[in-house]
């Protein structure tokens, strides 16, 4: 299958591109390399050293014998995107190419506008490119479980049956996003659903939980193929932050009460979920939603698990609660449905002690790269 992986230089996109290539698909990466520029802007970095995309792709061809084509450019430039579609004639378009940090979107007006312009307009361009150049192409779009927020009812997969004043209908599940980033994902979902209805596009919205883990079988083939690990208060997710704080002997800092509960999945499951979606495409005109996660944990639970593994590794670290920089419910009900991907064959890789230990040991090996002042939050919602 001819597959474009947009955002293929990033944390989810890179291992996905390698995995799909290994499975025999004809893979093309499209990326504007802006994720590397965010590091420069924020004076941050990946704990693991990351080679250039050109070198990564060349190394992949050397170790696997398989070629991944690359196009360097921005989805917001429609002439560029049109040429990519003309040259590749994609059968599936995997869309990871969005600014993905809630804190980054909350820095100030400029970053909020950038996030929504980059994400929403870029996604609209993809929809128009599919309509114009590849109407049978299946859009596999990375959404987020954060679109739903934390309602006091079960979270269904995309849709919910409502009875109101004696009448029933199946409607999109209500959205309660918690940042301008999460709002951009909601706008994407609405635009995709509308495009499916009016143009007959086929699309799968993968409402993904927080991704953890470091290695896939493909990224372990050579050090130059390693995936990035973010740890800072802007792009580092809770588990990564906690692990890297422990690696340098810093307190593990929990925001607020620590009762915030979120959905999670292993990076190995991310790549498999994309494959499942590609091999089982949505019908023409169908806007399909999969909740892409395997487990959920509270922030406090994660912190205590990291502390336990750190102590086993000889690292003495304490769990400390700090003022929450976000505006969010800290203690709430959380129960989400995630059956569709399992029904299609997903066999989850769960968060074991060994997975946490693997990330921790990598952080310890590279702890000289961890910028200590970056492990605490610097951006507030207020």
Tens-digit pLDDT profile for residues 65-87: 999 999 999 999 999 999 999 99
pLDDT of residue 291: 98
Confidence (pTM): 0.98
Active site includes 144?
A: yes
Active site residue 185: yes
Chain centre to alpha carbon of residue 191: 19
* Dist CA 193 CA 205 (whole Å): 9
How many residues make up the chain in this entry?
Answer: 382
pLDDT tens column, 20-76: 999 999 999 999 999 999 999 999 999 999 999 999 999 999 999 999 999 999 999
pLDDT value of residue 18: 98
Token pair, residue 119, equals 């994400």
CA distance 92 to 128: 14
Alpha helices, DSSP H only, in the chain? 13-22, 34-42, 53-64, 78-88, 102-105, 109-116, 122-133, 180-199, 238-247, 267-279, 299-312, 340-343, 353-365
Report the b/e string of 232-271 with b at 16+ CB within 10 A. Answer: bbbbbbbbbbbbbbbbbebbbbbbbebebbbbbbbbbbbb
Catalytic residue among 28, 48, 70, 144: 144
Residue 202 CA to residue 42 CA, distance in Å, equals 37
Q: Comparing C-alpha atoms, which of 313, 275, 321, 310 is closest to residue 1?
A: 275
Give backbone dihedrals phi and psi of 343, rounded to 5 degrees, phi first.
-60, -30
Please tell me the CATH code under which domain 2-374 is placed: 3.40.50.720
Sorted by sequence, the CB contacts under 8 Å of residue 125 that are 6+ apart come out as: 75, 76, 78, 81
The two beta strands, 261-266 and 295-298, are: antiparallel
Question: CA distances (Å), 176 to each of 102, 184, 285, in order?
Answer: 14, 12, 26
- What pLDDT sits at residue 29? 99
Give the tens place of pLDDT for each residue, 132-170: 999 999 999 999 999 999 999 999 999 999 999 999 999
Distances (CA, A) of 324 to 259, 358, 379: 12, 28, 10
Buried b (16+ CB within 10 A) or exposed e, 33-62: eebbebbeebebbbbbebeebeebbebbee
Residue 26 CB neighbour total at 10 angstroms: 18
**Average pLDDT value over all residues in the chain:** 98
Report the percent of the chain where pLDDT is more than 70: 100
pLDDT of 359 reads: 95
Nearest by Cα to 218 from 8, 9, 22: 22
User: How many helices (H) and strands (E) would you count in the chain?
Assistant: 13, 14
User: Reduced to 3 DSSP states, what percent helix, strand and coil does the chain have, rounded to the nearest 5?
Assistant: 40, 20, 40
Catalytic residue among 70, 185, 231, 261: 185
Which whole number is the average pLDDT over 320-342? 98
> Is 372 one of the catalytic residues?
no
Which residue's entry shows tokens 């870029």?
Answer: 122
pLDDT of residue 246: 98
State the catalytic residue, choosing from 148, 173, 181, 255.
181
The residue extents of the domains of the chain are 2-374
The pLDDT of residue 189 is 98
Q: What is the pLDDT of residue 360?
A: 97
8 Å CB contact between 187 and 368:
no
Check if the beta carbon of residue 103 is closer than 8 Å to that of residue 234. yes
Pick the closest to residue 114 from 181, 192, 39 (CA basis). Answer: 181
């Amino acid at each position: 299958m001819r597959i474009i992986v947009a955002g293929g230089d990033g944390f989810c996109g890179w291992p996905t591109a390698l995995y799909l290539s290994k499975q025999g698909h004809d893979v093309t990466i499209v990326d504007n390399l802006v994720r590397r520029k965010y590091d420069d802007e924020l004076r941050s970095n990946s704990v693991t050293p990351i080679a250039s995309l050109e070198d990564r792709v060349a190394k992949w061809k050397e170790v696997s014998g398989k070629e991944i084509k690359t196009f360097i450019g921005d989805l917001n430039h429609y002439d560029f995107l049109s040429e990519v579609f003309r040259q590749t004639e994609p059968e599936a378009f995997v869309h990871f190419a969005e600014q993905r940090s809630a804190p980054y979107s909350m820095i100030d007006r400029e970053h909020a506008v950038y996030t929504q312009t980059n994400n929403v307009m870029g996604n609209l361009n993809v929809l128009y490119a599919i309509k114009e150049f590849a109407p049978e192409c299946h859009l596999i779009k990375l959404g987020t479980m954060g679109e739903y927020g934390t309602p006091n009812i079960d979270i269904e997969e995309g849709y919910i049956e409502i009875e109101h004043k004696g009448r029933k209908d199946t409607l999109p599940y209500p959205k309660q996003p918690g940042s301008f980033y999460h709002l951009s994902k909601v706008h994407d979902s609405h635009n995709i659903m509308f495009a499916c209805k009016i143009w007959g596009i086929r699309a799968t919205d993968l409402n993904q939980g927080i991704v953890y883990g470091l290695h896939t079988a493909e990224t372990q083939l050579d050090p130059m193929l390693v995936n990035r690990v973010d740890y800072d208060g802007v792009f580092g997710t809770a588990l990564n932050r906690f692990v890297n704080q422990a690696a340098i002997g810093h307190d593990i800092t929990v925001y607020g009460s620590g009762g915030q509960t979120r959905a999670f999945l292993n990076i190995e499951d991310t790549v498999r979920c994309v494959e499942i979606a590609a091999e089982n495409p949505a019908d023409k005109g169908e806007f399909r939603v999969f909740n892409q996660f395997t487990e959920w944990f509270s922030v406090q639970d994660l912190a205590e698990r990291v502390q336990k593994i750190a102590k086993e590794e000889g690292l003495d670290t304490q769990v400390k609660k700090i003022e929450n920089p976000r505006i969010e419910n800290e203690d709430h009900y959380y129960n989400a449905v995630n059956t569709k991907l399992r029904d299609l064959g997903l066999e989850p890789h769960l968060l074991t002690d060994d997975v946490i230990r693997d990330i921790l040991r990598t952080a310890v090996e590279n702890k000289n790269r961890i910028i200590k002042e970056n492990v605490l939050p610097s951006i507030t919602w207020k």
